[in-house]
Amino acid sequence: MKGWGLIFLLLGVSFIVASGIAGGWVSGTGEVDISRSVVNRIDDYEYYSTMAGDGSLQMGHIAKGSKNLEKGIFSGGLSLSYSGDVPLVGVKRTETGSPFRGTKTTFQEAFSATEMEREEMTRMGSSVVATDTKLAFNGTYVTSSNSHQAFVRDISSHQRYTGTFEINNMIQFGSLADRRPALAVTILPQECFAEAGALVTRNYAVANTGTVPVRGLDLVDSRFGPVLLSRTELSPGEVASGSSSFPLGEEALPGPQRDSVVVTAVDFQGNVAEATATATVNLIPARGLNLTVKACEACVRPGEIVTYVYAVENSGDLPIFDINLTDSISSSPIAVNLTLMPGEGLNLTTNRTVREADLPGPLKNVVSAAGINSEGELVGRTREVILLPC
């Protein structure tokens, strides 16, 4: 059986220190009795841990700790592995703040297990303290967290698991500002060339870069309008995607056309997050340069590689210089920088691995070729290839 627990406590505290073993590595079989207590009255925190058992134990640091004294940040990790007929019984308690300062937070953890695999990463600083615990055990595991802010709020959380579980548990203490939501938005292609009258396609990715879940995700492109996203709620680190397509006619020449994208969301306490980005379309008249695009595969499957062949030809009467290509499957323009005399052409190939996220919808690739003829005119073509799933 697997259980996944996730707690976010974002509270107003100044500083806290979490401790494991003093240092080094412990490995062996026999009786276990370990305890540690830390009290810091200046920074208003207490830490206490103890565990006892009889079995095989390995315990120590899993990553070299790092310090940034200028920013007051410490990070490090601890690992514990235990098995035995006698359960390993442990208790850990962390307390910071005091009623006299108007804020007090407490986190308690207790376990009793005959088998346990545990990894814990800790990050501490003057404005935030976080622990990320990965735990697999056979027994009982209990956590409880409490926060009191005078005249503001009281928060309590309790979890109890009895049986065989795998748990990924994150607890974060920080300033009130740390719980503000945050978003980031990316547009691909950020800049492209398009033949006047052709269809322009944009792909959007919106990430939750904050420390709290958000909902009501909304993206508006100033050219296209509201864009339907794959998700409207995001936990920290998750990403939503979407796309839009629209034509730009001859009336939009000479360009370029610059558009803005705004994405907004709120957390579950009504705090608003916003992110913006811009995209540019360089319009080119459709004369003098031909472009054909072919896919070597008739349909697509997840994990397979699709090969595209791009054929560019100068079908006009003037030389064309500085020819370059862009496509919607690459993160940047395809640099060619070649000159084609009338009647000359060139072929290019590119590969794309099909991802699970690309399906079940069709896989689109919008390709544009552009250059400048000997009279200084910008010329080019745009083509689109759509592949359906097999």
Q: Let me know if the fold of 183-284 is the same as that of 289-387.
A: yes
Span 65-94, average pLDDT: 73
Least confident range of 61-75, 106-120, 219-233: 61-75
CATH architecture of the domain with residue range 289-387: Sandwich (2.60)
On whether the CB atoms of residues 107 and 171 are closer than 8 A, the answer is yes
pLDDT of the residue at 199: 76
For a pLDDT cut of 90, what percent of the chain falls above it?
Answer: 22
pLDDT of the residue at 100: 59
Report d(CA 150, CA 157) in Å as an integer.
Answer: 18
Helix (H), strand (E) counts: the chain: 0, 21
Quickly tell me which residue has 């841990």 as its tokens.
Answer: 49
- Which amino acid, 298? A
pLDDT of the residue at 54: 93
pLDDT surpasses 60 at 238: yes
**Best CA proximity match to 334, nearest among 316, 315, 352, 361:** 352
Report d(CA 382, CA 365) in Å as an integer.
Answer: 11
Q: E strand or H helix at 110, and its extent?
A: strand 103-124
Residue pLDDT, tens place only, 142-168: 888 777 665 556 677 778 888 888 887
Tell me the pLDDT band of 81, cut-offs 50, 70 and 90. very high
pLDDT surpasses 50 at 5: no
Greater model confidence, 115 or 380? 115
Residue pLDDT, tens place only, 297-352: 888 888 899 999 999 998 888 899 888 888 888 766 676 778 899 888 888 888 88
Residue pLDDT, tens place only, 263-306: 999 987 788 999 999 988 877 665 678 888 999 888 888 889 99
Q: What token pair was written down for 64?
A: 């070299």
* Per-position DSSP letters for 213-278, written without gaps between them: -BEEEEEEETTTEEE--S-S-B-TT-EEEEEEEEE--GGGTT--EEEEEEEEEE-TT--EEEEEEE
Report d(CA 70, CA 313) in Å as an integer.
Answer: 59
Q: Is 364 helix (H, G, I), strand (E, B) or coil?
A: strand
Report d(CA 90, CA 141) in Å as an integer.
Answer: 10
pLDDT of the residue at 63: 57
Give the start-to-end residue ranges of the domains of the chain: 25-177, 183-284, 289-387
pLDDT of the residue at 9: 38
**Best CA proximity match to 198, nearest among 251, 254, 248:** 248
pLDDT of the residue at 177: 46
pLDDT surpasses 90 at 261: yes
CA distances (Å), origin 278, targets 189, 193, 257, 283, 331: 10, 15, 11, 16, 15
* Three-point CA angle 357, 360, 362, nearest 5°: 95
* Three-point CA angle 333, 356, 234, nearest 5°: 90
Phi, psi of 356 (to 5 degrees): -60, -35
pLDDT surpasses 90 at 220: yes
pLDDT of the residue at 12: 33
Residue pLDDT, tens place only, 127-145: 455 677 888 999 999 888 7
Q: What token pair was written down for 290?
A: 């031909």
pLDDT surpasses 50 at 70: no
Q: What is the mean pLDDT of the chain?
A: 78
Report d(CA 12, CA 108) in Å as an integer.
Answer: 18
CATH 3.40.50.80 fits 183-284, yes or no: no
pLDDT surpasses 90 at 185: yes
Q: What share of the chain is helix, strand, coil (3-state, %, to 5)?
A: 5, 65, 30
* Per-position DSSP letters for 136-191, written without gaps between them: EEEEEEEEEEEEEETTTEEEEEEEEEEEEEEEEEEEEEE-GGGGS--EEEEEESSE
